[in-house]
Each structure stands twice: as structure tokens, then as C-alpha cells.
Amino acid sequence: MAAYILRRFVSTIAVMAMVGIFVFLLLRLAPGDPAAMIAGKSATAEMIAGIREKMGLNDPMPVQFIRWVRDMLGGDFGTSIFAGRPVLQLISQRLEPTISLSILTMIVSVTIGVSFGILAAWRAGGLVDRILTAFATLGFSVPVFVVGFFLIYLFAITAHWLPVQGYKPIDHGFGPWLVHLILPTVTLSIPYIAFIARITRASMLEVLSEDYMRTAAAKGASSYSMLFHHALKNAGVPILTVIGLSFAGLIGGVVITETVFNIPGVGRLVVDAINNRDYPIIQGVLILVSGLYVLINLAVDLSYTLVDPRIRY
Amino acid sequence: MTISRRNLIKMGVAAGTAVSIPSILRAQTSPTDARTVRMAMGNALSVYDPIWTATNITADHGLAIYDTLFSLDSKFTSQPQMVEKWNVSEDTKTYTFELREGLSWHDGTPVTAADCVASIRRWGEVSSGGQLIMARANEISKKDDKTFTIVLKEPLGILIDVLADLTPPCLFIMREQDASRPATEQVTTNIGSGPFKFNEALTTPGASVTYDRNERYVPRKQPSDGLAGGKIVKVDRVIWEFIAEQQTALAALQAGEIDFFEQPSADLYPLIESDPNLELQVLNETGNHVCLRINSLQKPFNNVKARQAILHLVDQEAFMRVMDPRNGRPETSIFGEPISNDENTGWYKKGGDPEKAKQLFAEAGYAGEKVVILDPTDIPILDNPSQLLAATLRKIGVNAELAPSDWSAITTRRAKKVPVEEDGWSIFITSEADYSLSNPLGSPLLLANGDNAWYGWPKSDEYEALRAKWADVNTIEDRKALARQMQHIWWDFVGDVRLGKYLSPVARRKTLSGLIGVPVQLVPMWNMQKA
């Protein structure tokens, strides 16, 4: 197991290096100029050229790349071209909202999604199954921003129960923190609930048709015992895979929700950075997210051993 | 059916909780308190140095925390702000300025003449007006802690107006230790002497910014008039929120979570007007020109006849319908107020003149060359007219092609002077504040010096000779006369084409009042108050 984990860590570094090269080249080859954005809309070419020179943006690409790699190896992710602050500092300021939203979304999605999936499988073909399947299809199909604005209209503008937008850090109190995250969490959870519910249902249905389930029923096992002790554990691997992929995707996929609900998270940071061509921020965020993605996948792989003792690394 | 006492208590607790949830939640979302104003600004503030960048949002930040030597009143006349009194020598070459009493930095130290001298020098590195002063200046020096002088090699009649200029980068006075840095190095200390203090602890760069009232600030005694007069702060705190999504900003305004929404898009106006708690208000009454820049270096527009064809083709009313159907209006002057005029505007025809345009294209020898229009799809006010222009050109047989991208990509491509086949361009549309176009020395859009001119690179030696005289014209009447001569030439060689003028109202809750109107896209925060 230890050797496996070590191998995976080494491969993580390789993946991050590949992402780094790709992102660096992509940004430099894409049209757009941070110096022009700094200088303002009506700036002259001379002013922009002056800024480019001063910021080292005129240096040959290999020189810029080597400088960047050297700094990265020293733990320096660079300095934002616009804010003039270290990239890691800017990212760390935005991490809490994104992590809060992601974790709450996963808790809600897994709890409800797995429950719906089990329920639908247990009542397969019945009314409950059809209602839940319809919800899953709808939830997966309706765009997040449509759901977001619908919920804002309903619960914030009409009922005045919840805030329209914004984020309160948890050190301002658990209540304000939670209240500001309810609508974004519900909005973002719906497609994940649908996705997890569908996979859980399919996986459970497969297991429920196995011979040993019939045997368990013949031995007089209760429905609860059959569903949760026998079926769910055996259906666990695909469900865990989907949950892991969803969580990893969520980290990079909160952009729209953060934009709709004006949550100052990493997603907003990177979108603003793309608009401004703030290369160091985009590079820093993408490398961290790619590293996180690989680590989450590793955690998912390792978690398989918990639900299936036959799996060994 | 019997109900046990325990069940009754359980039901009571459950019912009470259910009833109270909305009120608990509402308490968490209560509207902003009366001494705090929350504003959704048009762009995110990520740069704090208003000299290092010329963006409007950073100039807004500058207006809050820094002060200026002079300010414009509501009639665009320069008035002393930090300066108590000033005079000019008989030969009009030496200006002496004395600072008023009570000026201090946010850290408590006094503002000195040395701070002003350093600030003028730094601003003079990047501002076109500042560069003009630096070119003419023999010496800029302090006489004592309160007095400094600008000694010129030759007179500069517009010197005070240049010092008061509102076009970013504006002359904000910074501490000497900050202003001593080159203009290309960003100042991030955020210590000014203005009416607001920057609250760094409550600020998240790019997400929200908090300003607190500067208790030490001593306003001028004169009543507030435009940006001039006493800057009296009537609230304790101002919070800027950067809400990227327009619908979210409007919903927040409707729900009372914010008091001010700087740049609502035109499609939201009916919704805002239908809400009894909200109001649209135009702060910049002089509006913004929409300018169509034409690449004069490449075919077909290297021929003046082709540029004139565009001038005759444009139906300004049609363009305004897709940009600002409510407040848009035609604009035939290349200048802003107060030097706007109607010289040589015979080309203007309601509805445009496609036949004349066709004829002029033919006279220019147009042979189906591709005309590439750079289309910033992330800026609706420029995207819509770009699409209309392409359609209008195609209707008269021009091979027009849109090149959609975000604005950032356009800032790179517009600098290319090469033919369209080599990733060059033919036309792009931009906007500029009417006020900024009242200064041919300050606005790059009014240059016509060929390769050194702004994108499109128009060239007219005759026009440039007149423009060079601007610095030495002292009275407004003389400036108006000179502006007429310049405009006459401009519309002949067609340095650019105007599509009209739009006004960009802000939206606010009716409880917020006292907003100051300024002739540029800036939002001063003093004088405003909440009911």
C-alpha cells in the first residue's frame, strides 16, 4: 500500500508538471495582453509597451518559463500582475468560500443522492421510482444558473427568507455562514444529487438481482438489513467512484454558482484573472486544482479497500 | 384520539420552530444599516494605484482615499481643492501654490508641499497632460512645507485645467515616499489624505473593498459643487461589492442588500423602473461617445473615400437603438462639452445614406477586400453595434466579417498594423467619455499623427498643426474657435466615425440620496446619505 501511495504521489507531480507546461504555453499563445488591461481602455500603444517592458512580459518565452519554473520549485507561485500580491496569498483568501460550498454540496448531494438511489432501486418500477427518476433527469438537465435565479426569486426576493448573494466567513458566526450558503448549496447540489441517485439506483439494482440477495431474503433478512448491510456495501465501489469524481469536478466547477451568488471563491478569482490575462493567478490556480484532482482520485482509490476487502494495492 | 402531554410539547416546539425560521433567516439578511452604504461597482478593484493604471475603478478608489490639488465644479471649471491660493507671475511662467490648513495623511502626518511635488512628477510620467507640464517645466520645487512652485520654460495657458483633469490617470496627491517610486511600480500602501480611509482588514482583493470615513478630514468651507467645494462625508462606511452577474446585482438591490448598482445593462431598466423602491439616475449627464476606429493604413480604408463612405453610411439613430434606446442621441462633434460644435457636419443624414456610401466605396476602388470588424462579445454596448455595422456593410456589398473575442484579446489585435490576412483588422468600436474628448492634448482618440496616433493611425499634418496650438490657447472662446477649425479638417480626412452618444445611468435605492454627478464614469462617495 505504501509503495502504491508513493507511486501515485510521484505521478501527481508529473501530472502537475504537464499541466504547468500546457497552461503556460496556452496562456502565452492565447490573444490578450495584461499590460493593455492595466493601462486602461484608451491607453496608447506606447504606454502599453512601457508596461510590458517593465513587467518582463517582453522577455522571450523560454526565459519567462524558466523563471516561472525556478520560482515554482522554490515554492513561489509568483505575484499577481494586477494586485501585486503573492498568488498563494490571493488563492488562500478565496479558498474558504469554495471549500465551504464544495463540502456542503457534497454532504447534501451524497446524503440525498444515495438515499434517493436506494429508495428508487428498492421500489424499482413503482411510482416512487418513476418520480425520483424524473427528478434525476430534470435535475441533471436544467442549467445551474436557471435553478439559481429561480431560487433567488423565490426565497430571497419574494419570501425574504435568505440573502440573494454574498458570503460570510465562518468566523463571523455559524448562522450567517450557513444562511449565505443555503441557496448556493441547493443550486449546486441538484445536478449532483441527480447524478449520484442515478448511479446508486443502477448499482443497487444490479446487486439486488444477485443470488445472494435472494438467499438473504429466503433466510428472513429484514429489508433494512438487505438494503444497507448486503446490497449497499456491494454496490459501493461505483458509488464511491462517482462521489469522488463529483467532488473533484466540483472544485473546478463552482464557477457558475459562485458567479450567480457572488461568492468570492477561487472560481471567481480565476475568471477575473482570465479576463485580465493575469497569468500567474491562472497558472497557480490550475496547478493547485490539478494537484487536488489527482489527490482526490487517489483518496477514492484507497477508499475502495474500505468497502471491498478483496481490493489490495 | 388522545394526545399525550409529551407529544403536545413536541408539537408545540416543532410548530414554534417552523414559524420562527423565516424571521431568524430574515434577521440574517437584514438590510444594510443607515450609516453604511453598499455599492455594486461596475468592475472589480484589483489595482490600488491610480497612477499605475488608468482604469475607472482605480480612479474611483483614488477619489475616495486621495485628494487633488484642484477639482472641477459642476460647470467644468477648475477650482482649488487642496490648494488654498495660487498665483501666476507676470510673465505667466511661474505658478505658486499654497496648501490649505488641516491637510493630513491617514496616518496622522501632515501633507506637505514635498508630497505634492513628488506626486506631480510621478503623474507626469504617465498622464498625457502631466507629460505636457513636465516637457514645459523648468523646475517643480517646494518653497516651504506649505508652498511649491512650477516654473515653466514657456507659458502654458491650460496648466490649471490640466492639474484638475478628471481623465484617468488623475493627479491624486500621494505621500512623498510613495510618489517617489517610478510610475511603473505599483503603490499599495493606500494611505491618502482624502475623505475616506481604506480598511484593508475588511477587504478581499477583487471581491469587496471597505472604506471608512476619515474623521480627520477637514473639508473646504465652500458648498459642494461637482467635485469642487467641501467634501462632506455623511456615512460611516462604504462597502464596494463586485457582483459580476447583472441579474444578481439587481436582485441584491431589490432585496435591499445593496444600495447602489453602478452599471445596470439597458435590458434591466424596465425592471428597475417598475420597482417602487428603486430609481435610475444619470450621474454623467454629458455621456459617452461611441467611436468607430478605422484602420487607415490598410485597404480599403487607406483611401479617404472609403472612410468617408463609412461616415455617410452610419445611421446613428439605428445604432443608438441597439446601444441605448432610451437615452441615446446622435453626436456629430468630435469634441465633448464645452467645445462641442457643428462644424463641417453636412455628412449627417437621418437614416444614413447607403447610396452615397456605395458610390464612395466605388470611387475608392473597393474590389471586395475583406473588412474585419473586431467584436468584443463581453461588452454588450460595443458588441451590438459591431454586429449592426457588419450587417449594414454587407447590405451595400462590402465583404464584412466579424472577429468575435473578449475585449482583452482585442487590446492585442488592435495594435497590429498588418493587413487582415495577417491577423490585422479594419474596424473596431470603442467608447470615450464626452468630457475626455474636450481636451485634444489629453485624449489619444483625438490624435492624427499617423504611426504615433491611437489605433487606426489617422494622419493629417494640417490638423496636427492646429492641435499643437491648443496648449497655448487661454480662453474658452479661443478654444472653441480652434476646435471648430480642427473639426472641419477631421471630418474631411475622417480620423474616426461617431455612432452617437449614450448615457449610462446608475440604479439606486430611493433611500440613498446626494450622489454627485460628474462628467466621467467616476463615482464620488462624499455627500451621499441614507434615509
- Written in H, E and C, the secondary structure of B171-187 is CEECCHHHHCCCCCCCC
Tell me: do B320 and B428 sit in the same domain.
Answer: yes
Q: Mean of the pLDDT values across residues B440-461?
A: 93
Tell me: do B251 and B370 sit in the same domain.
Answer: no
Q: How many CB atoms lie within 10 A of CB A215?
A: 11
Interface check for A268 against chain B (CB to CB < 8 A): the answer is yes
Q: How many CB atoms lie within 10 A of CB B153?
A: 11
List, as one string, the DSSP characters of A127-177.
Answer: HHHHHHHHHHHHHHHS-HHHHHHHHIIIIIIIS--S-SS----GGG-HHHH
Q: Mean of the pLDDT values across residues A187-215?
A: 92
- What CATH number should be reported for the domain holding residue B111? 3.90.76.10
Structural domain of B367: 288-502
Q: What's chain B's average pLDDT? A: 91
Q: What's chain A's average pLDDT? A: 87
Task: Summarize pLDDT for B210-258 with one digit per residue, the tens.
Answer: 999 999 999 999 999 999 999 999 999 999 999 989 999 999 999 999 9
Compute chain A's Rg from CA coordinates: 24
Find the residue in B nearest to A168 (Cα).
B28
Residue B292: band (very low, low, confident or very high) from pLDDT cuts 50, 70, 90? very high
- What CATH number should be reported for the domain holding residue B247? 3.40.190.10
Tell me: do B19 and B81 sit in the same domain.
Answer: no
Q: Mean of the pLDDT values across residues A252-256?
A: 78
Q: Mean of the pLDDT values across residues B310-323?
A: 95
B55–A153 CB contact, under 8 Å:
no
- Give A300's contacts (C-beta < 8 A, 6+ positions apart): A240, A241, A243, A244, A245
Could you give the CA distance from residue A201 to residue A194 in angstroms, rounded to a whole number? 10
Q: Mean of the pLDDT values across residues A69-89?
A: 86
Nearest to B207 among A43, A163, A264 (CB): A264
Task: Summarize pLDDT for A292-309 with one digit per residue, the tens.
Answer: 888 888 888 888 887 777
Tell me: do B267 and B302 sit in the same domain.
Answer: no
User: Rounded to an integer, what is the distance from CA B70 to the centroid of its chain?
Assistant: 18
- Give the Cα-Cα-Cα angle B82, B173, B453 (nearest 5 degrees): 115
Interface check for A7 against chain B (CB to CB < 8 A): the answer is no
Interface check for A276 against chain B (CB to CB < 8 A): the answer is yes
- Name which of A222-226, B81-85, B498-502, B521-525 the model is least confident about: A222-226
- Give B223's contacts (C-beta < 8 A, 6+ positions apart): B229, B230
A275–B245 CB contact, under 8 Å:
no
A84–B47 CB contact, under 8 Å:
yes
Tell me: do B307 and B454 sit in the same domain.
Answer: yes
The last residue of one of the domains, among B117, B148, B179, is B179
Q: Mean of the pLDDT values across residues B73-98?
A: 95
Task: Summarize pLDDT for B386-412 with one digit per residue, the tens.
Answer: 999 999 999 999 999 999 998 888 988
Tell me: do B475 and B327 sit in the same domain.
Answer: yes
Backbone angles phi, psi at B79, to 5 degrees: -130, 145
- Give B281's contacts (C-beta < 8 A, 6+ positions apart): B505, B506, B507, B508, B515
Q: How many CB pairs under 8 A join A and B?
A: 158
pLDDT, greater one: B19 or A164: A164
Q: Mean of the pLDDT values across residues A258-280?
A: 90
Is B126 part of any domain?
yes
With 0.90 as the threshold, say if the pTM is over it.
no
pLDDT, greater one: B360 or B517: B360
Q: Reduce the DSSP state of residue B200 to 3 states and report it.
A: strand
Is B59 part of any domain?
no
pLDDT at B22: 47
Q: Mean of the pLDDT values across residues B184-188?
A: 87
Q: Do B330 and B352 contact (CB within 8 A), yes or no?
A: no
- Name which of A251-255, A277-281, B452-456 the model is least confident about: A251-255
Is B511 part of any domain?
yes
Tell me: do B274 and B255 sit in the same domain.
Answer: yes
| Whether pLDDT at B26 is above 60 | no
- CA distances from residue A281 to A13, A32, A273 in whole angstroms, order as listed: 19, 15, 6
Tell me: do B73 and B130 sit in the same domain.
Answer: yes
Residue B31: band (very low, low, confident or very high) from pLDDT cuts 50, 70, 90? very low
Q: How many CB atoms lie within 10 A of CB B188?
A: 14
pLDDT at B421: 94
- Give the Cα-Cα-Cα angle A254, A258, A263 (nearest 5 degrees): 135
In the stretch 192-231 of chain B, residues with CB closer than 8 A to chain A read 204-208
The last residue of one of the domains, among B179, B211, B241, is B179
- CA distances from residue B282 to A304, B327, B346 in whole angstroms, order as listed: 62, 10, 30
pLDDT at B60: 95
- Domain total in chain B: 3
| Whether pLDDT at B100 is above 80 | yes
Closest to B64 measured CA to CA, from B190, B162, B166: B190
The last residue of one of the domains, among B179, B212, B234, is B179
Interface check for B1 against chain A (CB to CB < 8 A): the answer is no
| Whether pLDDT at B432 is above 50 | yes
Q: Give the three cell numbers for residue B393.
A: 456593410
Is B371 part of any domain?
yes
Is residue A125 classed exposed, middle or buried when 0-12, 13-18 and 19+ CB atoms within 10 A define those classes?
exposed
Tell me: do B269 and B227 sit in the same domain.
Answer: yes
Is B418 part of any domain?
yes
Q: Mean of the pLDDT values across residues A241-248?
A: 84
Is B54 part of any domain?
no
Tell me: do B209 and B335 sit in the same domain.
Answer: no
Task: Summarize pLDDT for A22-50 with one digit per residue, the tens.
Answer: 888 888 888 878 888 877 777 777 778 87
- What CATH number should be reported for the domain holding residue B462? 3.10.105.10
pLDDT at A286: 87
In the stretch 143-182 of chain A, residues with CB closer than 8 A to chain B read 149, 152-153, 156-157, 159-166, 175-176, 179-180
| Whether pLDDT at B15 is above 80 | no
- Name which of A9-13, A70-74, B34-38 the model is least confident about: A9-13
Tell me: do B406 and B306 sit in the same domain.
Answer: yes
List, as one string, the DSSP characters of A90-134.
Answer: HHHHHHHHHHHHHHHHHHHHHHHHHHHHHHHHHTTTSHHHHHHHH
Pairing status of strand B208-213 against strand B237-241 = antiparallel
Is B58 part of any domain?
no
Tell me: do B97 and B138 sit in the same domain.
Answer: yes
Task: Summarize pLDDT for A102-134 with one digit per residue, the tens.
Answer: 999 999 999 999 999 999 998 888 999 999 989
Is B521 part of any domain?
yes
Could you give the CA distance from residue B469 to residue B487 in angstroms, rounded to a whole number? 14
pLDDT at B28: 47
